[in-house]
Amino acid sequence: MKPAIVEFVGLPGAGKTTVFNAVVPRLQERNIPVLLRTEMLQEWRSHSPFEKLFHLVPTNQNQWNILFQSWNLALQTKPINLASFSKATKIFTNLKRLDSTEFNPFVLMDQGLLQEIWSVGITGAPPALTAIQSTLSLLFESRSIAIVHFKIDIDAAIKRIQSRSTQGSRFDQMSIESAQVMLLKYAPYLDQILESARSLGAPILEIDSLQSVDMKAEQIADWIANY
């Protein structure tokens, strides 16, 4: 039996990782086992290059379709660029790692498949809605994916990006003005991804990012516990 994948989705600065770190111990206190994305990556890095290559070979038609559809997303992102193909390939590699785990009941991801789809499109002009829907349809075909959406307005997101200490995002390296322009341009693309997921029946928990971390973490832990 495959695990349910619970993915946090939201604009940079929405607080996904901070709340993620607060949700995990709450689930553990309830004796709800979860496998974290970081643990999956750690296990992946323990393999030899040959083992990694072997594990990345598609083993069924759905995986082949997702690989080609991910590249199609990159092809539709104009102008065509290497960054979009690199990020599209990450959709597939993340999927392969998820498909190889038998851990139950949950895999918890603060950055997952939908966020990677968004990352592909923000390297240029985003792909068409039909391409987004086709990709999500393939992802949901044989997997249980639930989404926690962190809602935040762009001004609040910019303030959060300014104040955080990490420098792991491209937005951390931008001026305030550049980050604001980019978020204004690509926030609607993230909305399209979420609405496409909703139309396919994916469970979505809407979270107000301006609430306290404790309040958000409790709300998400309750939702997962009753999933």
In angstroms, the CA 88 to CA 76 distance is 11
CATH architecture of 4-225: 3-Layer(aba) Sandwich (3.40)
Q: Tokens for 77, please give them.
A: 């992102």
Indicate the pTM of the whole model.
0.92
* Stronger pLDDT, 144 or 173, i.e. the higher one: 144
Q: Are 140 and 200 in contact (CB under 8 A)?
A: yes
State how far the Cα of 42 lies from the Cα of 185, in Å rounded to an integer.
34
For residue 58, cis peptide bond before it (omega within 30 degrees of 0): no
pLDDT tens, 117-163?
Answer: 999 999 999 999 999 999 999 999 989 999 999 999 999 999 888 77
Q: What is the pLDDT of residues 23-34, one digit of tens each?
A: 999 999 999 988
pLDDT of residue 167: 57
57-60 long-range CB contacts below 8 Å, 24 or more apart?
A: 58/96
- 184 CB-contact burial (10 Å; exposed 0-12 / middle 13-18 / buried 19+): exposed
- CA 103 – CA 50 distance, rounded (Å): 24
Residue pair 5/98 in contact by the 8 Å Cβ criterion: yes
Task: Break the chain into its structural domains and give their ranges.
Answer: 4-225
